[in-house]
Protein backbone atom coordinates (compact mmCIF):
# COMPACT_ATOMS: atom_id res chain seq x y z
CA UNK A 1 0.00 0.00 0.00
CA UNK A 2 1.30 3.44 -0.89
CA UNK A 3 2.75 5.70 1.79
CA UNK A 4 0.76 8.51 3.40
CA UNK A 5 2.59 11.78 4.15
CA UNK A 6 1.07 13.78 6.99
CA UNK A 7 2.21 17.37 7.45
CA UNK A 8 1.67 18.75 10.97
CA UNK A 9 2.14 16.77 14.19
CA UNK A 10 -0.54 18.44 16.27
CA UNK A 11 -3.28 16.17 17.60
CA UNK A 12 -5.06 15.98 14.25
CA UNK A 13 -1.89 14.82 12.48
CA UNK A 14 -0.96 12.47 15.31
CA UNK A 15 -4.44 10.94 15.44
CA UNK A 16 -4.43 10.43 11.68
CA UNK A 17 -0.97 8.85 11.81
CA UNK A 18 -1.95 6.56 14.71
CA UNK A 19 -5.05 5.31 12.85
CA UNK A 20 -3.14 4.67 9.64
CA UNK A 21 0.00 3.15 11.16
CA UNK A 22 -2.19 1.01 13.42
CA UNK A 23 -3.76 -0.57 10.35
CA UNK A 24 -0.43 -1.26 8.70
CA UNK A 25 -0.15 1.75 6.38
CA UNK A 26 3.27 3.28 5.78
CA UNK A 27 3.25 6.75 7.30
CA UNK A 28 5.64 9.70 7.30
CA UNK A 29 4.90 12.59 9.62
CA UNK A 30 6.55 15.97 8.89
CA UNK A 31 6.49 18.67 11.57
CA UNK A 32 7.89 22.21 11.41
CA UNK A 33 8.66 22.52 15.13
CA UNK A 34 11.27 20.61 17.10
CA UNK A 35 8.51 18.78 18.98
CA UNK A 36 5.04 17.37 18.37
CA UNK A 37 1.76 18.53 19.94
CA UNK A 38 1.22 21.90 18.23
CA UNK A 39 -1.23 23.93 20.31
CA UNK A 40 -1.30 21.16 22.89
CA UNK A 41 2.25 20.91 24.18
CA UNK A 42 4.34 20.86 27.35
CA UNK A 43 7.78 22.05 28.31
CA UNK A 44 10.00 22.45 31.34
CA UNK A 45 9.76 25.94 32.83
CA UNK A 46 12.74 26.91 34.97
CA UNK A 47 10.88 29.80 36.67
CA UNK A 48 8.07 27.54 37.87
CA UNK A 49 10.45 24.62 38.36
CA UNK A 50 8.39 21.92 36.63
CA UNK A 51 6.91 20.83 33.31
CA UNK A 52 3.96 23.00 32.36
CA UNK A 53 1.45 22.95 29.51
CA UNK A 54 1.07 25.82 27.02
CA UNK A 55 -2.52 25.96 28.21
CA UNK A 56 -4.82 24.11 30.56
CA UNK A 57 -6.72 21.60 28.46
CA UNK A 58 -9.99 20.33 29.84
CA UNK A 59 -11.56 17.27 28.26
CA UNK A 60 -14.82 15.51 29.05
CA UNK A 61 -16.04 11.95 29.36
CA UNK A 62 -18.22 12.79 26.32
CA UNK A 63 -15.06 13.15 24.19
CA UNK A 64 -15.27 9.64 22.76
CA UNK A 65 -12.72 10.19 19.97
CA UNK A 66 -10.14 11.39 22.52
CA UNK A 67 -10.77 8.38 24.75
CA UNK A 68 -10.50 6.00 21.79
CA UNK A 69 -7.23 7.68 20.71
CA UNK A 70 -5.81 7.34 24.23
CA UNK A 71 -6.85 3.69 24.31
CA UNK A 72 -5.00 3.05 21.02
CA UNK A 73 -1.77 4.67 22.22
CA UNK A 74 -1.97 2.98 25.64
CA UNK A 75 -2.45 6.18 27.63
CA UNK A 76 -6.10 5.97 28.76
CA UNK A 77 -5.07 5.91 32.42
CA UNK A 78 -3.13 9.18 32.15
CA UNK A 79 -6.26 11.34 32.22
CA UNK A 80 -7.62 12.06 35.67
CA UNK A 81 -10.73 13.72 37.02
CA UNK A 82 -13.39 13.51 39.69
CA UNK A 83 -15.48 10.29 39.76
CA UNK A 84 -18.62 12.43 39.32
CA UNK A 85 -19.27 15.59 37.32
CA UNK A 86 -19.05 18.45 39.81
CA UNK A 87 -18.34 22.06 38.88
CA UNK A 88 -17.70 24.36 41.84
CA UNK A 89 -18.01 28.11 41.17
CA UNK A 90 -17.10 31.29 43.03
CA UNK A 91 -18.43 34.77 42.33
CA UNK A 92 -15.37 36.95 43.00
CA UNK A 93 -17.52 40.05 43.63
CA UNK A 94 -20.01 38.68 46.16
CA UNK A 95 -17.99 35.73 47.50
CA UNK A 96 -20.95 33.41 46.77
CA UNK A 97 -19.98 29.78 46.10
CA UNK A 98 -22.11 27.10 44.44
CA UNK A 99 -21.64 23.77 42.71
CA UNK A 100 -23.27 22.52 39.51
CA UNK A 101 -23.98 18.77 39.78
CA UNK A 102 -25.67 17.36 36.64
CA UNK A 103 -28.17 14.52 37.30
CA UNK A 104 -27.35 10.89 36.60
CA UNK A 105 -29.76 10.21 33.72
CA UNK A 106 -30.91 12.16 30.70
CA UNK A 107 -33.59 14.03 32.68
CA UNK A 108 -31.91 17.05 34.32
CA UNK A 109 -33.68 16.72 37.67
CA UNK A 110 -31.21 19.12 39.28
CA UNK A 111 -32.72 22.12 37.50
CA UNK A 112 -36.09 21.48 39.23
CA UNK A 113 -34.58 21.81 42.72
CA UNK A 114 -33.93 25.35 43.99
CA UNK A 115 -31.20 23.95 46.26
CA UNK A 116 -29.34 22.42 43.32
CA UNK A 117 -29.88 25.20 40.83
CA UNK A 118 -27.35 27.99 40.41
CA UNK A 119 -28.32 30.73 42.91
CA UNK A 120 -30.76 33.35 41.53
CA UNK A 121 -31.71 31.23 38.50
CA UNK A 122 -35.11 29.75 37.52
CA UNK A 123 -36.15 26.57 35.76
CA UNK A 124 -37.16 28.61 32.72
CA UNK A 125 -33.58 29.89 32.39
CA UNK A 126 -32.44 26.30 31.80
CA UNK A 127 -35.31 25.36 29.52
CA UNK A 128 -34.27 28.31 27.35
CA UNK A 129 -31.48 26.02 26.15
CA UNK A 130 -34.07 24.49 23.83
CA UNK A 131 -33.95 27.70 21.81
CA UNK A 132 -30.39 26.75 20.93
CA UNK A 133 -31.69 23.44 19.55
CA UNK A 134 -33.78 25.30 16.99
CA UNK A 135 -31.23 28.01 16.21
CA UNK A 136 -30.59 28.74 12.56
CA UNK A 137 -27.10 28.71 11.01
CA UNK A 138 -26.77 32.50 11.35
CA UNK A 139 -27.75 32.71 15.02
CA UNK A 140 -25.32 33.72 17.74
CA UNK A 141 -25.74 32.40 21.29
CA UNK A 142 -26.87 35.84 22.46
CA UNK A 143 -29.70 35.79 19.87
CA UNK A 144 -31.23 32.75 21.59
CA UNK A 145 -30.72 33.45 25.30
CA UNK A 146 -31.13 36.47 27.59
CA UNK A 147 -27.88 38.39 28.11
CA UNK A 148 -27.47 40.05 31.47
CA UNK A 149 -29.59 37.87 33.75
CA UNK A 150 -27.90 35.74 36.48
CA UNK A 151 -28.19 32.57 34.37
CA UNK A 152 -26.38 34.29 31.54
CA UNK A 153 -23.59 35.51 33.74
CA UNK A 154 -23.25 32.33 35.77
CA UNK A 155 -23.78 29.65 33.15
CA UNK A 156 -24.32 30.56 29.50
CA UNK A 157 -21.49 33.06 29.17
CA UNK A 158 -18.83 30.96 30.95
CA UNK A 159 -19.97 27.80 29.13
CA UNK A 160 -19.87 29.46 25.70
CA UNK A 161 -16.49 31.07 26.25
CA UNK A 162 -15.00 27.84 27.64
CA UNK A 163 -16.39 25.60 24.89
CA UNK A 164 -16.11 27.92 21.87
CA UNK A 165 -13.37 30.40 22.88
CA UNK A 166 -15.64 33.06 21.42
CA UNK A 167 -17.84 35.63 23.17
CA UNK A 168 -21.53 34.55 23.23
CA UNK A 169 -22.52 37.75 21.42
CA UNK A 170 -20.81 36.36 18.29
CA UNK A 171 -20.43 32.60 18.96
CA UNK A 172 -22.40 30.10 16.87
CA UNK A 173 -25.58 28.96 18.65
CA UNK A 174 -25.64 25.71 16.64
CA UNK A 175 -22.13 24.81 17.73
CA UNK A 176 -22.95 25.43 21.39
CA UNK A 177 -26.03 23.24 21.05
CA UNK A 178 -23.80 20.48 19.73
CA UNK A 179 -21.77 20.65 22.94
CA UNK A 180 -24.88 20.58 25.13
CA UNK A 181 -26.34 17.66 23.17
CA UNK A 182 -23.20 15.60 23.63
CA UNK A 183 -22.68 16.49 27.30
CA UNK A 184 -25.42 17.87 29.59
CA UNK A 185 -28.21 16.29 27.52
CA UNK A 186 -26.68 12.85 28.13
CA UNK A 187 -26.46 13.24 31.90
CA UNK A 188 -23.72 13.26 34.48
CA UNK A 189 -21.64 10.42 33.03
CA UNK A 190 -21.01 12.44 29.83
CA UNK A 191 -20.00 15.60 31.72
CA UNK A 192 -17.09 14.39 33.85
CA UNK A 193 -14.14 16.74 33.46
CA UNK A 194 -10.74 15.20 32.74
CA UNK A 195 -7.24 16.67 32.67
CA UNK A 196 -3.83 15.21 31.91
CA UNK A 197 -2.40 13.71 35.11
CA UNK A 198 1.19 14.79 34.51
CA UNK A 199 1.26 16.90 31.35
CA UNK A 200 -0.35 17.14 27.91
CA UNK A 201 2.80 15.71 26.36
CA UNK A 202 2.85 12.73 28.71
CA UNK A 203 -0.81 11.91 27.95
CA UNK A 204 -1.52 12.88 24.37
CA UNK A 205 1.77 13.30 22.54
CA UNK A 206 4.68 11.16 23.76
CA UNK A 207 2.72 7.86 23.87
CA UNK A 208 1.53 8.57 20.30
CA UNK A 209 5.12 9.04 19.11
CA UNK A 210 6.13 5.80 20.85
CA UNK A 211 3.17 4.04 19.19
CA UNK A 212 4.11 5.42 15.77
CA UNK A 213 7.76 4.46 16.02
CA UNK A 214 6.71 1.00 17.24
CA UNK A 215 4.57 0.67 14.10
CA UNK A 216 7.36 1.69 11.75
CA UNK A 217 6.19 5.25 11.03
CA UNK A 218 8.79 7.88 10.15
CA UNK A 219 8.62 11.10 12.16
CA UNK A 220 10.63 14.16 11.06
CA UNK A 221 10.88 17.36 13.10
CA UNK A 222 12.14 20.78 11.93
CA UNK A 223 10.55 20.23 8.51
CA UNK A 224 8.40 23.22 7.60
CA UNK A 225 6.34 22.71 4.47
CA UNK A 226 6.89 25.74 2.25
CA UNK A 227 5.10 24.72 -0.92
CA UNK A 228 3.38 21.85 -2.68
CA UNK A 229 4.04 21.09 -6.36
CA UNK A 230 0.86 20.23 -8.28
CA UNK A 231 0.15 18.40 -11.52
CA UNK A 232 -2.96 16.64 -12.85
CA UNK A 233 -5.18 17.88 -10.02
CA UNK A 234 -2.93 16.42 -7.35
CA UNK A 235 0.21 16.96 -5.26
CA UNK A 236 3.44 15.67 -6.80
CA UNK A 237 6.11 16.95 -4.39
CA UNK A 238 6.58 18.60 -1.01
CA UNK A 239 9.04 21.45 -0.62
CA UNK A 240 10.55 21.71 2.87
CA UNK A 241 13.25 24.19 1.82
CA UNK A 242 16.53 22.26 1.71
CA UNK A 243 14.62 19.00 1.80
CA UNK A 244 12.28 17.94 -1.02
CA UNK A 245 10.00 14.91 -1.09
CA UNK A 246 8.61 13.57 -4.36
CA UNK A 247 5.26 11.80 -4.02
CA UNK A 248 5.23 8.46 -5.82
CA UNK A 249 2.13 7.29 -7.70
CA UNK A 250 -0.64 6.41 -5.26
CA UNK A 251 0.95 8.23 -2.33
CA UNK A 252 -1.36 10.49 -0.35
CA UNK A 253 -0.91 13.76 1.50
CA UNK A 254 -2.78 14.76 4.65
CA UNK A 255 -2.46 18.49 5.39
CA UNK A 256 -2.93 18.73 9.16
CA UNK A 257 -1.91 22.38 9.58
CA UNK A 258 -3.65 25.32 11.26
CA UNK A 259 -6.01 27.13 8.83
CA UNK A 260 -3.50 29.87 7.89
CA UNK A 261 -0.78 27.32 7.13
CA UNK A 262 -3.13 25.13 5.11
CA UNK A 263 -4.37 28.10 3.05
CA UNK A 264 -0.79 29.18 2.31
CA UNK A 265 0.10 25.84 0.65
CA UNK A 266 -3.30 25.00 -0.90
CA UNK A 267 -4.28 27.66 -3.44
CA UNK A 268 -7.93 28.66 -3.28
CA UNK A 269 -8.65 26.88 0.01
CA UNK A 270 -11.44 28.68 1.83
CA UNK A 271 -10.83 28.31 5.56
CA UNK A 272 -11.87 30.27 8.65
CA UNK A 273 -8.94 32.61 9.26
CA UNK A 274 -9.97 34.86 12.14
CA UNK A 275 -8.62 33.61 15.49
CA UNK A 276 -9.33 34.16 19.17
CA UNK A 277 -6.69 34.17 21.94
CA UNK A 278 -6.43 32.28 25.22
CA UNK A 279 -4.27 33.50 28.11
CA UNK A 280 -3.02 31.01 30.67
CA UNK A 281 -0.92 31.45 33.78
CA UNK A 282 0.87 28.95 35.99
CA UNK A 283 1.73 29.83 39.58
CA UNK A 284 3.90 27.93 42.03
CA UNK A 285 2.44 28.41 45.51
CA UNK A 286 4.85 28.38 48.46
CA UNK A 287 2.90 25.36 49.81
CA UNK A 288 -0.24 23.42 48.80
CA UNK A 289 -3.43 25.08 50.12
CA UNK A 290 -5.13 23.48 53.15
CA UNK A 291 -6.29 19.91 52.37
CA UNK A 292 -10.04 20.51 52.79
CA UNK A 293 -9.99 23.43 50.40
CA UNK A 294 -7.77 21.72 47.83
CA UNK A 295 -10.11 18.72 47.66
CA UNK A 296 -12.96 21.03 46.75
CA UNK A 297 -11.26 23.02 44.05
CA UNK A 298 -9.09 20.91 41.78
CA UNK A 299 -11.21 22.74 39.19
CA UNK A 300 -12.97 26.00 40.06
CA UNK A 301 -15.04 28.29 37.83
CA UNK A 302 -14.67 31.99 38.59
CA UNK A 303 -17.31 34.60 37.81
CA UNK A 304 -17.15 38.39 38.01
CA UNK A 305 -13.40 38.86 37.50
CA UNK A 306 -10.85 38.20 34.79
CA UNK A 307 -9.91 34.58 35.55
CA UNK A 308 -12.44 32.05 34.26
CA UNK A 309 -11.07 28.67 35.42
CA UNK A 310 -8.62 27.73 38.13
CA UNK A 311 -6.96 24.30 38.21
CA UNK A 312 -5.06 23.12 41.26
CA UNK A 313 -2.48 20.32 41.20
CA UNK A 314 -0.51 20.19 44.46
CA UNK A 315 1.18 23.57 44.73
CA UNK A 316 0.76 24.47 41.05
CA UNK A 317 -2.22 26.68 40.22
CA UNK A 318 -3.09 27.10 36.54
CA UNK A 319 -5.51 29.75 35.33
CA UNK A 320 -7.39 30.12 32.06
CA UNK A 321 -8.89 33.15 30.35
CA UNK A 322 -10.52 32.27 27.00
CA UNK A 323 -11.76 34.70 24.33
CA UNK A 324 -9.11 36.96 25.87
CA UNK A 325 -8.98 39.67 23.17
CA UNK A 326 -8.66 42.52 25.68
CA UNK A 327 -6.36 40.78 28.17
CA UNK A 328 -3.86 39.54 25.61
CA UNK A 329 -2.91 43.16 24.78
CA UNK A 330 -1.76 43.86 28.35
CA UNK A 331 1.77 43.19 29.56
CA UNK A 332 2.63 39.89 31.26
CA UNK A 333 3.36 41.80 34.49
CA UNK A 334 -0.08 43.41 34.50
CA UNK A 335 -1.77 40.09 33.72
CA UNK A 336 0.18 38.32 36.48
CA UNK A 337 -0.90 40.98 39.00
CA UNK A 338 -4.59 40.67 38.11
CA UNK A 339 -4.62 36.88 38.06
CA UNK A 340 -2.64 36.49 41.27
CA UNK A 341 -4.99 38.82 43.19
CA UNK A 342 -7.97 36.68 42.09
CA UNK A 343 -6.15 33.44 42.90
CA UNK A 344 -5.27 34.63 46.40
CA UNK A 345 -8.92 35.58 46.95
CA UNK A 346 -10.24 32.28 45.62
CA UNK A 347 -7.80 30.15 47.63
CA UNK A 348 -7.89 32.41 50.70
CA UNK A 349 -4.13 32.98 50.57
CA UNK A 350 -2.17 36.08 51.71
CA UNK A 351 -1.72 38.56 48.82
CA UNK A 352 2.03 38.86 49.49
CA UNK A 353 4.62 37.66 48.80
CA UNK A 354 3.70 37.19 45.14
CA UNK A 355 4.89 33.71 44.02
CA UNK A 356 6.55 32.91 40.64
CA UNK A 357 3.98 33.27 37.82
CA UNK A 358 4.39 32.27 34.17
CA UNK A 359 1.95 33.95 31.76
CA UNK A 360 1.44 32.29 28.36
CA UNK A 361 -0.40 34.07 25.56
CA UNK A 362 -1.71 31.99 22.67
CA UNK A 363 -2.97 34.62 20.23
CA UNK A 364 -4.33 32.11 17.72
CA UNK A 365 -5.61 29.51 20.17
CA UNK A 366 -8.64 28.59 18.02
CA UNK A 367 -10.52 30.04 15.09
CA UNK A 368 -13.31 32.52 15.98
CA UNK A 369 -16.31 30.20 16.12
CA UNK A 370 -18.86 32.59 14.69
CA UNK A 371 -21.75 31.40 12.45
CA UNK A 372 -19.94 32.84 9.39
CA UNK A 373 -16.66 31.06 10.19
CA UNK A 374 -18.39 27.79 11.05
CA UNK A 375 -19.96 27.79 7.57
CA UNK A 376 -16.47 28.04 6.06
CA UNK A 377 -15.13 24.88 7.73
CA UNK A 378 -14.08 22.63 4.83
CA UNK A 379 -14.61 18.85 4.73
CA UNK A 380 -11.66 16.45 4.87
CA UNK A 381 -11.96 15.57 1.20
CA UNK A 382 -10.57 18.19 -1.21
CA UNK A 383 -10.84 18.67 -4.96
CA UNK A 384 -7.23 17.46 -5.35
CA UNK A 385 -7.12 13.73 -6.03
CA UNK A 386 -4.53 12.85 -3.34
CA UNK A 387 -4.85 15.61 -0.72
CA UNK A 388 -6.95 15.31 2.44
CA UNK A 389 -7.42 17.91 5.20
CA UNK A 390 -7.30 17.52 8.97
CA UNK A 391 -7.35 20.02 11.83
CA UNK A 392 -9.67 21.16 14.61
CA UNK A 393 -10.99 23.88 12.25
CA UNK A 394 -12.21 21.48 9.56
CA UNK A 395 -15.85 20.47 9.40
CA UNK A 396 -16.06 18.04 12.32
CA UNK A 397 -19.35 19.46 13.57
CA UNK A 398 -17.69 20.04 16.94
CA UNK A 399 -15.97 23.13 18.46
CA UNK A 400 -12.23 23.54 17.85
CA UNK A 401 -10.95 21.33 20.65
CA UNK A 402 -8.81 18.24 21.11
CA UNK A 403 -11.93 16.19 20.39
CA UNK A 404 -12.40 17.99 17.08
CA UNK A 405 -8.70 17.59 16.17
CA UNK A 406 -8.77 13.86 16.90
CA UNK A 407 -12.06 13.39 15.02
CA UNK A 408 -10.61 15.21 12.03
CA UNK A 409 -7.52 13.00 12.06
CA UNK A 410 -9.67 9.89 12.22
CA UNK A 411 -11.84 11.11 9.33
CA UNK A 412 -8.77 11.97 7.25
CA UNK A 413 -7.41 8.45 7.85
CA UNK A 414 -10.74 6.98 6.68
CA UNK A 415 -10.83 9.14 3.54
CA UNK A 416 -7.24 8.19 2.70
CA UNK A 417 -8.01 4.49 2.86
CA UNK A 418 -11.25 4.66 0.83
C1 LIG B 1 -4.13 27.85 25.28
C2 LIG B 1 -5.04 26.83 24.69
C3 LIG B 1 -6.00 26.22 25.49
C4 LIG B 1 -6.83 25.25 24.95
N5 LIG B 1 -7.73 24.62 25.78
C6 LIG B 1 -8.40 23.56 25.31
C7 LIG B 1 -9.20 22.79 26.20
O8 LIG B 1 -9.32 23.10 27.38
N9 LIG B 1 -9.83 21.68 25.71
C10 LIG B 1 -9.70 21.31 24.39
O11 LIG B 1 -10.26 20.26 24.03
N12 LIG B 1 -8.98 22.06 23.52
C13 LIG B 1 -8.33 23.16 23.94
N14 LIG B 1 -7.56 23.89 23.09
C15 LIG B 1 -7.59 23.59 21.65
C16 LIG B 1 -6.66 22.44 21.24
O17 LIG B 1 -5.36 22.66 21.72
C18 LIG B 1 -6.64 22.38 19.73
O19 LIG B 1 -7.95 22.22 19.25
C20 LIG B 1 -5.80 21.24 19.17
O21 LIG B 1 -4.57 21.12 19.82
C22 LIG B 1 -5.59 21.50 17.67
O23 LIG B 1 -4.85 20.44 17.07
P24 LIG B 1 -4.56 20.50 15.52
O25 LIG B 1 -3.75 19.32 15.17
O26 LIG B 1 -5.83 20.72 14.79
O27 LIG B 1 -3.71 21.83 15.27
P28 LIG B 1 -2.25 22.26 15.81
O29 LIG B 1 -2.08 21.81 17.21
O30 LIG B 1 -2.12 23.70 15.52
O31 LIG B 1 -1.25 21.41 14.91
C32 LIG B 1 -0.72 21.87 13.70
C33 LIG B 1 0.76 21.45 13.61
O34 LIG B 1 1.28 21.84 12.35
C35 LIG B 1 2.60 22.36 12.54
N36 LIG B 1 2.88 23.23 11.40
C37 LIG B 1 2.42 24.49 11.19
N38 LIG B 1 2.84 24.94 9.99
C39 LIG B 1 3.59 23.93 9.45
C40 LIG B 1 4.28 23.77 8.20
N41 LIG B 1 4.28 24.73 7.28
N42 LIG B 1 4.94 22.60 7.97
C43 LIG B 1 4.92 21.59 8.89
N44 LIG B 1 4.28 21.70 10.08
C45 LIG B 1 3.63 22.85 10.36
C46 LIG B 1 2.51 23.08 13.88
O47 LIG B 1 3.80 23.26 14.43
C48 LIG B 1 1.63 22.11 14.67
O49 LIG B 1 2.41 21.14 15.33
C50 LIG B 1 -6.74 24.90 23.58
C51 LIG B 1 -5.79 25.53 22.77
C52 LIG B 1 -4.95 26.48 23.32
C53 LIG B 1 -3.93 27.14 22.42
The model's pLDDT over 135-147, given as tens digits with 9 standing for 90+, comes to 999 999 999 998 9
Q: What is the pLDDT of residue 31?
A: 98
DSSP state for residue 230 in the 8-state scheme: E
Q: What is the pLDDT of residue 226?
A: 98
User: Rounded to 5 degrees, what are φ and ψ at 303?
Assistant: -115, 150
d(CA 84, CA 398): 24
Strands (E), 241-338: 243-246, 252-255, 275-284, 299-303, 309-313, 316-321
With a 6 Å cutoff on the Cβ, whether 369 touches ligand 1 is: no
With a 6 Å cutoff on the Cβ, whether 392 touches ligand 1 is: yes
Low-confidence ranges of the chain (pLDDT < 70): 290-297
Q: What is the pLDDT of residue 289?
A: 73
With a 6 Å cutoff on the Cβ, whether 328 touches ligand 1 is: no
| Interval between CA 276 and ligand 1 midpoint (Å) | 13
Q: In terms of C-beta distances under 8 Å and separation of at least 24 residues, what long-range contacts does 115-124 make, across chains too?
A: 118/89, 118/150, 118/151, 118/154, 118/155, 119/150, 119/154, 120/150, 120/154, 121/150, 121/151, 121/154, 121/155, 122/151
Closest to 317 (Cα-Cα) out of 43, 59, 6, 56: 56
Closest to 224 (Cα-Cα) out of 257, 252, 246: 257
| Interval between CA 113 and ligand 1 midpoint (Å) | 40
**Which of 5, 10, 35, when mutated, tests ligand 1's pocket best, judged by the most ligand atoms within 8 Å of its CB?**
10
Ligand 1 atom nearest 57 alpha carbon: 8
Ligand 1 atom nearest 393 alpha carbon: 26
Q: What is the pLDDT of residue 294?
A: 46
Q: What is the pLDDT of residue 256?
A: 98
Ligand 1 atom nearest 360 alpha carbon: 1
Could you check whether the bond before residue 399 is cis, i.e. omega within 30 degrees of 0? no
Domains of the chain (ranges; CATH) run 4-45+199-273+371-417 (3.50.50.60), 113-185 (no CATH), 275-367 (3.90.660.10)
With a 6 Å cutoff on the Cβ, whether 362 touches ligand 1 is: yes
> Atom 8, ligand 1: which residue's CA is nearest?
57
With a 6 Å cutoff on the Cβ, whether 310 touches ligand 1 is: no
With a 6 Å cutoff on the Cβ, whether 178 touches ligand 1 is: no
d(CA 237, CA 202): 34
Amino acid sequence: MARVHIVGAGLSGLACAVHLAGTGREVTLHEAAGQAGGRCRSYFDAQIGCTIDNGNHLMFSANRAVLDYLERIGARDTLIGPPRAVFPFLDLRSGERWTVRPSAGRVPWWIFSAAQRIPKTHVSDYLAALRLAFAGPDAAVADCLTPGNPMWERFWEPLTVAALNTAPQEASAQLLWRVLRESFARGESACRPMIARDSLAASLVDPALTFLRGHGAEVHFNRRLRAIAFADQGATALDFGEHKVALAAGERLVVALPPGGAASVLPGLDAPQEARPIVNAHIRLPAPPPAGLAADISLLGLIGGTTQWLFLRGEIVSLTVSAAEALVERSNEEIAKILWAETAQALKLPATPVPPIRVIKERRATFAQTPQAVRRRPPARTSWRNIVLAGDWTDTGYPATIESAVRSGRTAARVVTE
